[in-house]
Amino acid sequence: MIGRIVRHELRSAWRDGRIRNVVVLTLALLAVAVIVGATNVRALQAQREEAAALERANWLEQGPKNPHAAAHFGQYAFKPISGLALFDRGVDRYLGSAVWLEAHRQNALVHRPADDAPAVQRFGELTAANILQAIGPLLALLLTFAAIAGERERGTLRLLVGQGVRPQALVLGKLVAAMLVLAPLLFVALLSAAALGGWAGLPRVGLLALGYGLYLGCFAALNLAISARARSSSAALVGSLALWVAAVVAVPRIASDIAAWAYPTPSEHDFFAQVARDIKQGINGHDPKDSRTEALKAGLLARYGVKTVEELPVNFAGVALQAGEEYGDRVYDRRYGELHAIHRRQADLRLALALLSPRLALQPLSAALCGTNLAAHREFAAAAEEHRRALVRRLNEDVAQHPGASPFEYLAGPELWRELGKLGQDDADPSPADLRGLAILAALFLLATSLALASARRLHVDP
């Protein structure tokens, strides 16, 4: 029975020129978005690779220099772009793409792509993910808003029920048919993205297909529930449009505002001002920098049994510089840990509100699988920071290993610069926490299908 309903609905959709044209236009738009995305991602990656090569050459060719001066000379690290970023840019547009690695300071990433974007992109970038998230539900609406209400208006619903067609089977058949019509959108968008972005990400593409399929299925099932309860196709259309406006446009924006209000983050100025106070006055506020330096000096003199720093077998300046770096690292780890905890609470709150909008569950899932979420950004920032600390540590150690030289007159040569390698970073793998959206989408799809089937029971008595 369900199979016959599905075949009938598919034939009807194919014969309906409006549906056929909308599907074809959406497929064309998806193809354009993927091609444009691939072109932009490749251009950005080429620019970053060229900049990284120039930065490496500048570092190697800086000539003889004091190692601590070289630590302040520093170097840029450039964030690589995930292969699937052509499908979903996630938060990459709003976060920096390069970070300046220098002594004493853990800098934030700079050069946000959104700063250079045209004004029209404030309404959203043309990506396959945005098209599927915003236009996909509208296509589901077109397929389903009159699926039951239209049958009632034409008088065929009473005939179908009278001939023994179970209402639940009718709703399930129409739901399966709608999802089969929507399936080519996922096929074209995701497989073309995998082909252009590298087939290595194919397992992630499979999870993306499942997530987006459940997302579109939620809207198809909810629209069927509305159609089953509506007295007319026009009423069903109004209800389905209201659902789209609320779930796709309004609720995600409101949820972000609620999360930012519930868990506010400090401004960049306040954050780094607090870090500076912690380093100067101590994490507990009672351990100033000068006292720490004096304690370090006293400890070294006692350790080596000498009375002055000139008698030490190591250069005290190098040891003190590294001790200062390590204390600063503790401060940054603490403050960034607090900031990341706020971000996690914001994300958890938005995910908790996904009951009101499947898009709130899909967006973090899609960005995580494409390597463009906040966790992937933090992973690069952590790798860059680890590289900075190793770089500065080695330079400070070189100063400490030359006790006979004046701290800032000793010069190192190119062999030391070559010893310090460049940063390497692979795509971040999504964590189990990043995949919670998939379970939520599955639960929402089951709930929406249950609502559609519950609404179908009323078809027995409706005129």
d(CA 276, CA 311): 33
What is the distance between the alpha carbons of residues 17 and 15, in angstroms, rounded to a whole number?
6
Q: Phi, psi (5° rounding) for residue 111?
A: 65, 70
CA distance 70 to 75: 9
Q: Report CA-CA distances (Å) from 236 to 30, 177, 224.
A: 28, 19, 9
Long-range pairs of 287-291 with CB within 8 A, sequence gap ≥ 24: 289/324
Unique residue bearing structure tokens 């959203």: 124
pTM: 0.89
* Contact between 460 and 161 (Cβ < 8 Å): yes
pLDDT of the chain, 463 residues: tens digit per residue: 778 888 877 788 778 778 888 888 999 999 999 899 888 888 988 998 899 889 999 888 888 888 888 888 888 999 888 888 889 998 888 888 899 999 888 988 887 765 555 544 555 678 999 999 999 999 999 999 988 888 888 878 777 777 777 888 888 999 999 999 999 898 888 888 777 766 667 888 889 999 999 999 999 999 999 999 888 899 999 999 999 999 999 999 999 999 999 999 999 889 999 998 988 888 777 778 888 888 888 888 888 888 888 878 888 888 888 888 898 999 999 999 999 999 999 999 999 999 999 999 999 999 999 989 998 899 999 999 999 999 999 998 888 887 766 667 788 888 888 888 777 665 566 666 778 999 999 999 999 999 999 988 776 444 4
Q: Which parts of 155-288 fold into alpha helices (H)?
A: 156-162, 167-197, 202-229, 233-244, 251-262, 268-281
Instruction: Give the neighbor-by-neighbor strand order of the sheet with 98-102.
Output: 75-78, 98-102, 105-106
Q: Which residue has the tokens 């620019």?
A: 47
- Nearest one of 101, 19, 89 to 59, comparing CA atoms: 101
CA 263/CA 258 separation, integer angstroms: 8
CB 63 within 8 A of CB 345: no
